[in-house]
Structure 1
Amino acid sequence: MSRDLVFAYPGDLETRTGGYGYDRRVVAALADLGWNVELISLGDGFPNPNAKQLDDAGRMLSGLADDSLVLIDGLAFGVMGEWAGREAKRLKIMALVHHPLALETGLDGERQQALAAREKAALAQTRGVIVTSHMTATELAANYAVPAERIVVAIPGMDPALLAAGGGDPPLILSIGTLTRRKGHDILISALERLRDLPWTCRIVGSKMLDPGVAAELERQVAQSGLGDRIELAGQIDDTRLEFAKADIFALASRYEGYGMVFAEALAQGLPIVGCAAGAVPDVVPEGAGFLVPPGDPDAFAAALRRLLEEPETRISMADAAAIAGARLPSWRDTAVIISDFMERAS
């Protein structure tokens, strides 16, 4: 078969989130495997486009030649069911789902149901669906009527990384994630307020632009905590490897993750982890490499952090377990081979 692929995505592919990072690395690795990848940005507004934005995106894709193989990022595709229904017989449509749109934090029940229905309708028009975790595969099969044989799991790859040096005085707690409600930075800050008796500093890295309202709330929360000299909202950092290298503990209180690439990065650099048992995080962070507590519980999150701060032997043991788990993660080439083979079979 032809190895020509159109990869369509919303917004800017250079956006610094885990999902866009996955997209960039997979596109590059597919090119290394011999795929001719054409990139198409579907524009802004997704996953909540207005009528014109949605129509413009559909018009771009409808201009593709018959039998084109097109892989569409789920952040846009989840609301493109009407377009997919019109074009599914003419185009070979596949979807890349990082996590279902209806599982985003902060949606009311009516909006959740509407998004789930739209994404289910869109996915019904695909020849195959690529997901980034086994948890998402299970979710799509159980609740979105996607047959298991039309789903493939391609977990994110990982680059070789030097282990974090650690030994900070005071210990540095690192958190990386866009400043959105789903990432749970409010829970982390609340937990840190309960630990003001211990020595530590915390650096929260992530874009403030995707949800300026949440970013402003977090800035107020830090100011009101009286810990502004110890908690830094650092904004977006293009290369986070140095951030990991300087840290002693990785902590992210996500309320949900379709995979959680940043947890895998923390493992690869040998950092003990405090996170939440939410979404696919328990699939990424093995027992022994960190503490996973219930989501939305600052007391439990604080207790886990306290153990790592007060028990150096526990911190060292979990760092060792993290490094071992990180060394077992696949490469980006491994991830791309899974996707490449699946597209060849499904199309």
Structure 2
Amino acid sequence: MRITFICPPFDLSGGQRVIATYAEHLQRRGHHVVVLAPPHRRRSIREIARSLYYTRRWPAYSISAHINQVAVERRTLDRHRPVTDSDVPNADVVIATWWETAEWVMALSPSKGTKAYFLQHHEVFDYLPVARSEATWRLPIQKIVVAQWLADLARDRYGDPSAQVVRNAVDQDLFHAEPRGKNLVPTVGLMYSTAPFKGCDVSLEAVRIASAQLPSLRLLAFGCSPINPRLPLHPGAEYHLQPPQQRIRELYSRCDAWLFASRSEGFGLPILEAMACRTPVIGTPAGAAPELLAEGGGYLVRPEDPEDMAAAIVRLCGLPDSDWRILSERAHSVATRYTWDDATDLFEGALRTAMEKGSSLGELATS
């Protein structure tokens, strides 16, 4: 197949790492893959002021991007603008990956490929044009989603029962760890973010509450931005700013539990990454957490409830070493029994389904 991914500006987000992974795996299978995006647009005065106020830093875009790390053809437009026919090669299938790119893809001519829509979150946020974003969920094209809750949403809210679930996997060459026992000093970890939907405030409050019963409790964290004074870490916490991927694996592996308190999440890759490193996860029911934690390897806690998360921290860190090892091995088993090759099989199948549907619609249109 000739496959084109239409992306928002390239970056280091988890969603773009997933796109880059599929692009690379599909290319290895003999498909011709092109990944295309506009460059980042210039910051507005309001955005600059907001960044200075909240982070005390001048905003800047990283020149790094996940797509730069894989051997596929990538194209960047001359400026930030909609993608048009002249930018896109003729192909068998063209894939939108963000609500705005879905609008662009729908305007492309049939020669650019059968249209598909890869959804990694419900992109209906207050800071976006909500009506336009919602409208893309109603487009008459094949949808591929990363978690069951998104397929349920497509069916129940937007009237599309045909969305295909292709769950994310984890890079087992990158995220792995040898079997181990509990730490002598109980240790929990989290991904630091000031984005409210990430729920970092809930995790930090849970650690504070749990520390009353576990005075020696240690916190490890990593993130993409410096610590914001409005969301400080606890005294003695260990923080790593933009660590390399190999270092992230080490951080996961040093923890007795990984905290995932997201209020909203498309999937939640850190869940799988931590579990692949044999670290049980304590998580809220966001993204794929209900599906993954139901299979063992961690505890599901109530959302917006730091007391419940704190109780889970105390419970998990208080397990006998033999019981903790069992939980650790369950986490590893859940994370590693489904691979990116398995996911690519499903993704490839979903693209063929899209092409079959597009062919059927074309025949109806010409009959």
Which bracket does the TM-score occupy, shorter chain normalised?
Answer: 0.7 to 0.9
Task: Please give the alpha-carbon distance, in whole angstroms, between the structure 2 residues aligned to 1:65 and 1:20.
Answer: 21
Q: Does the 8 A contact of 1:277 with 1:294 survive in 2? A: yes
Cross-structure match for 1:316: 325
Within the alignment, does 1:204 sit opposite 2:221 as a pair? yes
1:237 equivalent to 2:243? Answer yes
Alpha-carbon offset, residue 202 of structure 1: 0.9
Q: CA deviation at 1:318?
A: 2.1
- 1:59-96 Cα distance to aligned partner (Å, 9 max, x none): 4555325566321212xxx1356544433656432111
1:152 aligns with 2:164: yes
How many residue pairs are counted as aligned between the two chains? 313
Answer whether contact 1:154 1:339 (CA < 8 A) is retained.
yes
Alignment of 1:188-199 (within 5 A): 188-197=203-212, 198=214, 199=216
Q: Does the residue aligned with 2:210 lie in a helix, a strand or coil? A: coil
8 Å contact 1:72–1:95 — kept in the other structure? yes
Question: Hey, what's the Cα distance between the residues in 1 that align with 2:334 and 2:116?
Answer: 31
1:22 corresponds, among 18, 31, 34, to 18
Q: How does 1:52-91 map to 2 (within 5 A)?
A: 56-60=80-84, 63-65=87-89, 69-74=93-98, 78-80=99-101, 82-87=103-108, 89=110, 91=112
Aligned-pair CA distance for 1:307: 0.9
Whole-angstrom distance in 2 between the partners of 1:181 and 1:233: 19
What are the superposed Cα offsets for residues 297-325 of structure 1, whole Å, 9 maximum, x if unpaired? 11111111111122335533422321232
Aligned equivalents of 2:262 and 2:242: distance in 1? 18
Please give the per-residue CA displacement for 1:7-32, whole angstroms capped at 9, x wherever unaligned.
1211224x0x3222211211111111
Q: Which amino acid is 2:235 matched to? A: G
* 8 Å Cα contact 1:172-1:249 kept in structure 2: yes
Equivalent residue number for residue 139 of structure 1: 153
Q: Unpaired runs of 5+ in structure 2? A: 47-76, 356-367
Mapped contact 1:8–1:71 kept (Cα < 8 A): yes
Q: Kindly report the root-mean-square deviation, in angstroms, between the aligned alpha carbons of the 2 structures.
A: 2.9
In 2, distance between residues paired with 1:131 and 1:175? 25
Displacement, 1:287? 5.1
Aligned counterparts of 2:135 and 2:25: Cα–Cα separation in 1: 30
**Mapped contact 1:127–1:346 kept (Cα < 8 A):** yes
TM-superposition CA deviations, 1:146-205 (whole Å, max 9, x none): 3x23x2211112233234634323122121364422221111111111123311211111
AA aligned to 1:280 is A
Q: CA deviation at 1:234?
A: 2.0
Bigger mean CA deviation after superposition, 311-320 or 255-264: 311-320
Per-residue deviation, 1:207: 1.1
Letter of the structure 2 residue corresponding to residue 58 of structure 1: P
Report the Cα distance in structure 2 between the residues aligned to 1:168 and 1:309, rounded to whole angstroms: 9
**Which one is further off, 170-179 or 152-161?**
170-179
Q: What is the TM-score when the length of structure 1 is the normalising length? A: 0.80
Give the corresponding residue for 1:121: 135
Partner of 1:289: 297
**For residue 117 of structure 2, what is the amino acid of its counterpart?**
A
Letter in 2 for 1:154: V
> Structure 2: how far apart are the matches of 1:204 and 1:291?
20
Deviation at residue 289 of structure 1 after TM alignment? 2.0
Structure 1 pair 87–8 and aligned structure 2 pair: CA distance change class (3 A): closer
| Counterpart for residue 99 of structure 1 | 121
| Partner SS for 1:79 | helix
Query: 3-state DSSP class of the match of 2:258?
Result: strand
Distance 1:159-1:324 versus aligned 2 partners, 3 A rule: same
Higher-Rg member (1/2): 2
**Which 10-residue stretch deviates more, 290-299 or 153-162?**
153-162
Provide the rounded CA distance (Å) in 2 between the counterparts of 1:44 and 1:278. 29
